[in-house]
């Protein structure tokens, strides 16, 4: 959009006619995020609260639409990065989120674990090292589901507070593991986020859709490791019809979608309805 058209649209932003405003809003909301600093300067220079309110609405919408596009593109990747996905969810309602501190913490944990890993270790030994650093050294843990908060799914806040809901804790754990080339993924079990360690070499040899799983991990119970028999007991105790998908790895996109779905539930519970349209639109965009 050229400068003249942008200026013309901005001049109509305080028009009392709702149809005019909706046309202006639609046109401006299609702009890319690089125009936001310019619009913020216009907002600061204005003395009209009505104009400022409408412009702020436009700025928020531009930022959200751009994050949504990023999340759609993220989901199209062959191996979307879990940490990046969680950051995009965080940015959808906090567009000014600083991501450098997030990556600094993730890289620090990853480095500390990596220094202790070697090729001679078994899969179980590698997980024990990851557990030691994640839960004992860095002290991360999940908050009780009975006490939801409006921040316990924000990766930025969770990393600094060292606590969060069970989904974001699982995402961070699996994200760090995958960054270390440990084949740890979520499994598609309703109302739980358990993880599995995929035997990649055996899966390649078998040459079939079903993945060979070495063991399962409960990221909420300090990374406790268990086998398929124990998982079958969990499925039965939840009165869920046993299905192969409950024992197989799910995609990273699925985990991020679970996070957004959980946020919708929490924000409804906390009566924070103004954020619900954001989460609902975000949920629909994830494939």
- pLDDT for residue 209: 57
The pLDDT of residue 270: 87
- pLDDT tens, per residue, the chain with 287 residues: 677 888 888 888 888 888 888 888 888 888 888 899 999 999 999 888 999 989 998 998 899 999 999 999 999 998 999 999 999 999 999 988 999 999 999 999 999 999 999 999 999 999 999 999 999 999 999 998 877 888 999 999 999 999 999 999 999 999 999 999 999 999 988 878 899 999 876 555 555 556 789 999 999 999 999 999 999 998 888 888 878 888 899 999 999 999 999 999 988 888 888 888 899 999 999 88
What is the chain's alpha carbon radius of gyration, rounded to the nearest angstrom?
Answer: 22
List, in sequence order, every beta strand (DSSP E) within 182-259: 184-186, 195-198, 213-218, 224-226
> For position 182, what pLDDT does the model report?
97
CATH 1.25.10 positions along the chain are 3-75
Contact 107, 94 (CB under 8 A): no
Q: Sheet holding 224-226: strands in order across?
A: 184-186, 195-198, 213-218, 224-226
3-75 maps to CATH 3.90.550? no
pLDDT given at position 73: 94
Q: How far apart (Å, rounded) are the C-alpha atoms in residues 161 and 163?
A: 5
Q: pLDDT at position 207, please?
A: 53
Output the pLDDT for position 203. 58
Angular region, 213: left φ>0, alpha ψ -120 to 50, beta rest: beta
115 class by beta-carbon count within 10 Å (0-12 exposed, 13-18 middle, 19+ buried): exposed
For 199, residues 6+ apart whose C-beta sits below 8 A from its C-beta are 123, 183, 211, 212, 213, 214
* 272 beta partners: none
Q: What is the structure's pLDDT at 16? A: 84
């Amino acid at each position: 959009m050229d400068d003249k058209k942008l200026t013309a649209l901005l001049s109509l932003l305080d028009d009392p006619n709702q149809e005019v405003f909706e046309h202006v809003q639609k046109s401006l909301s299609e702009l890319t995020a690089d125009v936001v600093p310019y619009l913020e300067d216009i907002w600061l220079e204005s003395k009209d609260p009505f104009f400022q309110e409408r412009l702020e609405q436009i700025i928020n919408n531009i930022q959200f639409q751009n994050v949504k596009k990023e999340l759609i593109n993220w989901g199209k990747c062959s191996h979307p990065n879990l940490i990046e996905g969680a950051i995009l969810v965080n940015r959808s309602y906090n567009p000014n989120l600083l991501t450098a501190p997030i990556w600094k913490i993730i890289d620090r944990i990853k480095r500390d674990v990596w220094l202790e890993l070697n090729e001679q270790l078994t899969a179980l030994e590698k997980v024990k090292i990851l557990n030691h650093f994640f839960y004992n050294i860095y002290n991360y843990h999940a908050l009780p589901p009975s006490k939801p908060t409006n921040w316990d799914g924000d990766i930025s806040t969770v990393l600094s507070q060292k606590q969060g809901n069970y989904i974001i804790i699982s995402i961070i754990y699996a994200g760090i593991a995958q960054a270390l080339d440990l084949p740890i993924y979520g499994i598609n079990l309703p109302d739980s986020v358990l993880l599995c360690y995929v035997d990649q070499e055996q899966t390649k040899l078998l040459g079939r859709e079903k993945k060979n799983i070495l063991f399962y991990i409960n990221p909420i119970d300090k990374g406790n490791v268990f086998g398929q028999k124990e998982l079958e007991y969990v499925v039965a105790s939840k009165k869920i019809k046993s299905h192969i998908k409950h024992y197989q790895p799910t995609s990273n996109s699925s985990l991020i979608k679970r996070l957004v779905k959980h946020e919708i539930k929490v924000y409804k519970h906390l009566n924070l309805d103004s954020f619900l349209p954001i989460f609902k639109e975000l949920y629909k965009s994830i494939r």
